[in-house]
Structure 1
Amino acid sequence: MTLDKSILFLFLALIAEIIGTIGGFGSSVFFVPFTALFFNFHTVLGITAIFHLSSNISKIYLFRDGLDKKLLLQIGIPSILFVIIGGLLSNCFNSKILEISLGIFLILLSLLFLIKDKLVIPPKLKESIIGGSLSGFTAGFLGTGGAIRGITMAAFNLEKSVFVATSATIDFGIDFTRSFVYFFNGYITKEILIYIPFLFIIGFVGTWIGQKILNKIPQNRFKKLSLFLILGIGIFSLWNSIK
């Protein structure tokens, strides 16, 4: 990849981290389609897992005021189990099918949240396990599952720092696990190793900037804007993958 494209890729990674932190959906929902402009989708999955590791370490540090251990177990364990299943299944499909699936997923996800803006999942054990399982599977299969985990956790009315810290800790477990799956799948290649140090820095800086903005702007106002961005990115991703 040329120097100009590399700089653009890293800039978009920073934007994805900032918007993902403020909107509450996580950076991968933006980072995955952005990265798909530069790499084949299997490589996208590998680089996303590595980038997300640094991103979540940053969130755990910056939002370290609390951690809900009960939710960590109820949502985290099924998430980690199903991210393995999703990651293994992703190797059974070619990149084009995964790209099309991602576009459709982002469109449906954003429309669901825009139409059902008061959607709440009951804060019960069964729903937590189902939400965690779906979140882990889509993270392994499509590279992003934070929004599903977010709506599952929203039912518990957690304080903002507790929500982010708990979600980031669960996500760290997901990313740590799928990194091994993707490595054995051959998704983490020498081509992307040069970007890892830059992505670790971007993960921290983007989270820090997002935290500062989040302290000044109500999340609900930014959340709707984020949803329209996800819808637009989903439409573009679908169009770009089938053209």
Structure 2
Amino acid sequence: MEPYLFPVVFVAVFAAFALSASAGFGGSLILVPTLALALGTKSGVALAALLLAANNLVKVFAYRSSLPYRKALPVIALVMVGTFLGAKLFVSAPEQWVTIAVIVGFALAFLVESLDLTRFRRIGSPLLAFASGATSGFSGTSGPLKGLAVRGLDLDRMHLVGALSLVSLVGDVTKTAVWTDAALLTGGDYLVALACVPLMLIATFLGRRFNNKIGERGYTGLFWTVMLGYTGRLLAGL
């Protein structure tokens, strides 16, 4: 990576961590395209997964009092399976396929968002969970599908953020394990993650504090703003 890109990348990392801590998800919205541009698609997606996995550990600790393990377990399990399969495919896929998959993933999310899912949220949640994992494992990001899957659990604001943090942690750890085994992630990448720990701690503290202040109505607006952000990335890529 060119030296002049370091400040840009670290600003993007901090912004991604703060957004993720506020909404429970959304970090990949900022981190995946930034690192993909700086390092190349595969290297950038892999490093983003490692950084987000480490950050999700901090988030889970920060929201430890509002983690709905039992309710979120089916979504977590399906995300893990989908992510594992998608990450395995990512290893052998040509880089151009991965780039196209990112665009296709957002197109799928856009179509899902165009449907009226309010009556079928609980029924569709498992399918969305598996699809979000597979999309995340292959393209590095699954924000819209993951958001819809977890929102289908009908949780209050704090437990929704806790569930999103758990699901994100499992997905990112699964990707990180597969890509480390495939040598897409090296010791140098783990040193970068270690250097980012202070940013994770500060950003998570600020993000959680912001979440506490905005209330249920404000969080609903934040949630759908993140979803619109993913849609905006879709439109920009077309």
Question: Normalising by the residue count of structure 1, what TM-score does the alignment of the two structures yield?
Answer: 0.83
Q: Can you list the C-alpha shifts for 1:202-229, whole angstroms capped at 9, x where unaligned?
A: 2332222222222333123334443443
With over 3 angstroms needed to count, the CA separation of the structure-2 counterparts of 1:43 and 1:92, relative to structure 1, is same
1:144 is aligned to 141
Find the counterpart in structure 2 of residue 2 from structure 1.
2
Match of 1:181 in 2: 178
Corresponding pairs, count: 235
State the Cα distance separating 1:77 from its structure 2 match.
1.3
Among candidates 125, 129, 135, match of residue 126 of structure 2: 129
SS of aligned partner of 2:161: helix
Output the CA distance in 1 between the equivalents of 2:188 and 2:51. 15
Cα deviation code 1:108-160 (max 9, x no counterpart): 535754x56x7436354x53432221121111111112432221221232122
Which amino acid in the other structure matches residue 188 of structure 1? L
Query: What's the Cα RMSD here?
Result: 2.5
The structure-2 alpha-carbon separation of the partners of 1:153 and 1:222, relative to structure 1 and needing over 3 Å to count, comes to closer
Which residue in the other structure is 1:11 paired with?
11
Matched-pair contact (CA < 8 Å) for 1:84–1:137:
yes
Q: Distance in 2 between matches of 1:140 and 1:173?
A: 11
Aligned to 2:97: 97
CA distance in 1, matches of 2:21, 2:77: 23
Alignment-derived partner of residue 88 in structure 1 = 88
**Which amino acid letter does the alignment assign opposite residue 63 of structure 2?**
F
Q: Quickly say closer, same or farther: Cα 1:54–1:212, change in 2 above 3 A.
A: same
How far off is 1:88 after superposition? 0.7
CA distance in 2, matches of 1:228, 1:216: 22
1:220–1:69 distance in 2 versus 1, CA, 3 Å = closer
Q: Distance in 1 between matches of 2:10 and 2:129?
A: 30
Deviations 1:56-96, CA, capped at 9 Å, x for gaps: 11211111222223233211112111211100111232222
> 1-side partners of 2:10 and 2:96: how far apart?
23
Asked if residue 206 in structure 1 is aligned to residue 181 in structure 2, the reply is no
Give the drift of 1:161: 1.8
Distance 1:25 1:87 in 2: 19
How far, CA to CA, are the matches of 1:110 and 1:35 in structure 2? 23
Q: 2:213 aligns with which of 212, 216, 229?
A: 216
How far is the alpha carbon of 1:231 from its aligned partner?
3.4
Partner of 1:29: 29
Answer 1 or 2: higher relative contact order, Cα 8 Å, separation at least 6.
1
Return the letter of the residue paired with 1:78. Answer: L
- Higher helix proportion: 2
Shift of 1:11: 0.7
Kept after mapping to 1: 8 A contact 2:26/2:143 = yes
Which ranges of structure 2 fall in alignment gaps of 5 or more residues? none
Q: Is the 8 A contact 2:53 2:176 kept in 1?
A: no
Q: Which amino acid aligns with 1:179?
A: T
1:120 to 2:118 alignment: yes
TM-score by length of 2: 0.85
Matched residue, 2:192: 195
- SS for the counterpart of 1:175 is helix
Aligned partner of residue 158 in structure 1, secondary structure: coil
Counterparts of 2:197 and 2:38, CA distance in 1: 19
- Once the 2 structures are TM-superposed, how far is the Cα of residue 25 of structure 1 from its aligned partner? 3.5
Paired residues of 2:82 and 2:131 also in contact (CA < 8 A): yes
Give yes or no for contact 1:110–1:227 (8 Å, CA) kept in 2: no
**CA distance in 2 between partners of 1:76 and 1:82 (Å):** 10
- Find the residue that maps to 1:38 and give its secondary structure: helix
* Ranges in structure 1 where 5+ consecutive residues have no aligned partner: none
Contact 1:131–1:152 at 8 Å: present in 2 too?
A: yes
